[in-house]
Structure formats: C-alpha cells, structure tokens
Amino acid sequence: MTTTHNTTTPQQPKQTLHPIILRLFEKKGWGSKEIEDFMSWDLKQLPDLTAMQGMDQCCERIMDALANEETIGIYGDYDVDGTTSCALFYHFFKMLGHEVKLIQPSRFIEGYGLHASSVDQALSEGINLLITVDCGITNNEAAEYAKERGLDLIITDHHKDARDEMPAALAVVNPNRRDEPEDSPLRPLAGVGVAFAVCWEVKKRLEEVGQECPSLYPLLQFVAVGTICDLAKLTPMNLKLVRHGLKQIPQTQYPGLKAFFSPEERKLSFVPSEKLSFNVGPLINSKGRLDHPEKALNLLISDNSTEAFEYYSHLEVSNKERKYIQAQVFDEAKEKFVKGFDGSDPLIAIVYDEAWHEGVIGIVASKLVETYKVPAIVFTNAEEEGIIKASARAAGDLNIFDCLNACSDLFVKFGGHKAAAGLSMPKENLDEFRSRMHTLLKEIPAIERTAQFTYDLEIEPQEIDPKLLKDLERLEPFGMGNEKPVFKMKNVLLSNYDILKDIHVRWTFKAKDPAIKAPPLRGISFNYIGAYEKLHPQEIFNRQNSGAELSVYFTLGINRFNGNEYIQLMVNRIAVDEI
C-alpha cells in the first residue's frame, strides 16, 4: 500500500509478555513464527489483496468510467458489511473527485441481493456502471436482466458461489468464487475487504498513469467495522487490516464514525473490538432490521457533525425498538422450541410464527444457539402469499450452508456461508424440511453439531493483574477465529452478589486461601437470572457454604466509568462441584 502512514507498530518482545499470554500461545502449539505472524501489524506482509479473478476487468471498467466521467452506482446489502462497503466506496470515489450514487434495498420490499427492480432503479437514475458490494454472487437472473437492459454490472462479494453458474456480469470479484484456489489467503475477506482491494488496485492503476491519489489508509476504519461485525475470520491478514482501522478510530476524521464514540472513548488510544460488536454494529443494523437502511448509510458518509448526530439519534431510537421487538420474539421462540421437546436431546431449533418481525429473526436464531447450544432456524411469513423465509445459524463446527444445500429442492432461494444462511420456501414444505434436517443431523456426531462449552486456560486469582489486562489488549481484535480467551478459576469463594434490574448479577470473589493477598475480584453476568441451565446465585452461595468447590468461567476486561478503571470478570458460568 503506497502510504505515508506507519504501517507497523513496534512489537513487544516475547519474553516481556505476561506468563498467562505465553501459556495461551503454548496451548495453541504456536512457535515463534506463528506468534510473530499473529502479533504483526506490518501491512507490507499482507498477501496481494488484488490477486482475485475478475479484478483486471473490474478495474479496467472503473478506470474507463472515471476517464469518461460516467455515473457510477454502488449497490450494497443492508447489513453492517454492506453498509460499510458502500461508505468505503463513496469516500474513495470522493477522494478522486467523482460523485457516486448509492442504492440499498429494503429487507422488506426487495429483500437481500440484486433484483430486476434494482437494475431499473439504477437505469432511471442515469447510472452507467453499477457495482455491487457484499451481494450479487447468486443473483444470476438480475445480472442477466442488467445485461439485456445495457447496464454494465460488476459484482463484488464474498459469499459462497452456490449457483450452477456464476452470474453473467462484466466482472465478478469474489475470493470465494468457484475458480479461486481453495487455499487462497483471501477467502476470509469480508465484503468490505473485497471493496477495499478493488480501491487499492484502482489507486495503483491511477498512479501508473501519472494521476495522484490520496492514501487509502483512513478507509481501513470502515474495513475494521465491517470485518468485525460480519464475523469474518480473523486470520493474520484480517487482523492487520482491522488493527490499523481500530488504531485510527479515536482520532477519526469521519463525523459518522465519530458519532459512535463518547469524548472519553476518543481519548483512549485503544478501541476494543467488543465496542464494534455490541454497540456500533447493532446500531448500524437497526435501521435495516426495521425499515430502510438509508439513515445508517447517510451517517457513515456524512461530512457534517450536526447532521451525523441527527442520523445517529435515529439509529439509537431504532435500536431501542429493535431490542423490544427482539425480546418478544425470542421469548415466543423459546416457548415454541421447549414445547417441542420429546425427552430426547434436541438436534435443532426450527420454529415458525407468521407474525414474527422479519428484521430480528437472525438475532433470535443466534440467541437460540447461544441458549440451547444447537443450530437454529427461525421462520416467519414473507411478502409473497404462501412463502415463508428464515434465518439459520450454525452451532459448533456444523456447516449450516451444506445442510441447507442438501434440502435446496424445497426452497425458492437460499444463500449464505458455513455459520449463517437465509432461505425462503413454500410454507407447505416446512414439515418436510424439518424432517429432513432431523434425519441429516442424526448422522452427524453431536460434538460437531452442538456448541461445546470450552475454556482456554485455568489460572489462579493472584495471576490476574493490570499487566495481564494490558497484554490481553495486544491480542485484539477479538472475533471469529480469534475469540477472547475464556479462563477457568478455582480456589475462590463467592464473597457476595447483587442482583441488578432483576436479571443481571454483580459478583465479588476472593481467594480461598487467606495467605494469598490478591485483592477481591469483581465480576458481572448480564441476563443471568432465569437463563437456561444457570444456577441461581443464592444456590451457589448456599452450596459453597456447605463445602462445595466453585469453578468460575470468565473473560477479562476493564470497566471504565467516570474516569475510574478496575479489572472486571465477565462471568459466563459458575460450576459447583461437590467435594
């Protein structure tokens, strides 16, 4: 990447890392080379992001459009990855002095992907070249329609190439298309990463013909948000891209990104990936889940702080409404699932209600997996009479896409990847689908199709100190493929607990051995009371006092509030072992 920015960050010598971090690396079986690759910030060590089929035709057509001052349209999905991809392209072309038109479909009108109506809209707006981001690889009919209407179409995507043939677009740039090498290091790119790669190649070609092009380095902020929130696998390539994006966010010059962070957060040199996963991502997604996603995209392309604040306020309102609707649907989905128990271990949660809000069924499916540790598919009615649609989520190592592909003759359409997918089908096929999925899953070992509770390392209470927290931050960003370490701790007592808002629990633990002078450890569990298979705090306390031994499973973080900081255990579960 041609840039004046420092693309590396000095590495901390291995021997100065906290012993627990070194034990984590040792458990993974990593040697010096693996540790160096994982910890590296060096963008010069990236694989060639532009080495994808279709890149040459794609960039050649974009160069022609720029030279001839044609109208370029960007068409993106309505989730975080699609929205950040649209914003990235918008800012890139703006750097070049070229205004682009942005189009996003509504989840409830057009639905996911590219459609004939989208092609008509592009033509009505005078667009000569339409570039999709984070969608299009399975939209063969729309691509054929664009060809018939004379609209040049470029598809950039990262989803699985699942149709019998690829769409007949001018160019298809997708690291997961059928003719890319199976071992390509580019396969884990999110849609926004593919968009960034296209910009990189266009910049290189512009500079080859003597045109100056500003640095792409600031655009990595959008790559960071989209990659983390789309759960792209955090390989060394994605880790480098995301780290450099996160590094810039506290001092971001994009008003739309700045709106997500408080003045206190912007003073920090470090943005935890959890801030993106649990705050930024859900807010961006909220508009597309309830109505049209345009306000989220308008926020990310805004160049005015006042305007950005107004768009951000819209997202906050939408997100509160989304949470309310989601809680209702989740409660009803749990009730339907539990009613279906027949005494045997459940294989999958397949639930349907005609009235459930389509915008939250994906989150509800994820929460069912989290609660019951089995894959989940949540159906509701589609717009078309007699058609239902669903969001599917995998559990454990199950490839939910392959499972659905085995039932594809029942569907109107489907798409997705290993961990998550979507589908629509005639309602009359639901019973047959449920039966086939149960038959299919019976043949798969339970350990492969259920979410197994695991932990990374057992540690002692006195090992938890500020240096451990500081060094854990060096392992960021956490996400798919680089999960935050889960620790197990014994030799502790539950000193006391408080129940907050009837559902959350605040814990205080102390070392069991009075000779250990470790300070008390404070912890928190959100939505704990009444959760599936969770012991009530009072039962834990009583059984402990009767001689039982506790095993506490948690991740570690820093609670920052009103200028104060303290180490906080994010408690996942507490096991009570009778002695």
β-strand 152-156 against 349-352: which pairing, if any? unpaired
Res 4: pLDDT: 47
Res 3: pLDDT: 47
pTM of the full structure: 0.91
Residues near 80 by beta carbon (within 8 Å), at least 6 away in sequence: 225, 226, 229, 230, 280, 281, 284, 285
Contact 73, 100 (CB under 8 A): yes
Residues near 198 by beta carbon (within 8 Å), at least 6 away in sequence: 50, 55, 58, 59, 62, 131, 156, 173
Q: Which two tokens stand for residue 82?
A: 């699609």
Question: Does the bond joining 263 to the residue before it have cis omega, within 30 degrees of 0?
Answer: no
pLDDT per residue rounded down to tens, the chain (579 residues): 544 466 665 455 555 899 999 999 999 999 999 999 999 999 999 999 999 999 999 999 999 999 999 999 999 988 999 999 999 999 999 999 999 999 999 887 787 899 999 999 999 999 999 999 999 999 999 999 999 999 999 999 999 888 889 999 999 999 999 999 999 999 999 999 999 999 999 999 999 999 999 999 999 999 999 999 999 999 999 999 999 999 999 999 999 999 999 998 898 887 899 999 999 999 999 988 888 889 999 999 999 999 999 999 999 999 999 999 999 999 999 999 999 877 778 899 999 999 999 999 999 999 999 999 999 999 999 989 999 999 999 999 999 999 999 999 999 988 888 889 999 999 999 999 999 999 999 999 999 999 888 999 999 999 999 999 999 999 999 999 999 999 999 999 999 999 999 999 999 999 999 888 888 999 999 999 988 889 999 999 999 988 899 999 999 998 877 778 889 999 999 999 876
Contact 272, 260 (CB under 8 A): no
| Domains (range + CATH), the chain | 1-40 (no CATH), 46-315 (3.90.1640.30), 340-449 (3.10.310.30), 457-577 (2.40.50.140)
Q: Where are the beta strands (DSSP E) in 236-361?
A: 349-352
CA distance 316 to 320: 6
Within the chain, what is the greatest distance between any pair of CA atoms? 81
Res 13: pLDDT: 52
- CA distances (Å), origin 145, targets 16, 141, 172, 281, 320: 60, 6, 16, 33, 39
CA distance 270 to 435: 49
CA distance 501 to 203: 53
C-alpha torsion 225→389→135→301, nearest 10: -40
Res 2: pLDDT: 47
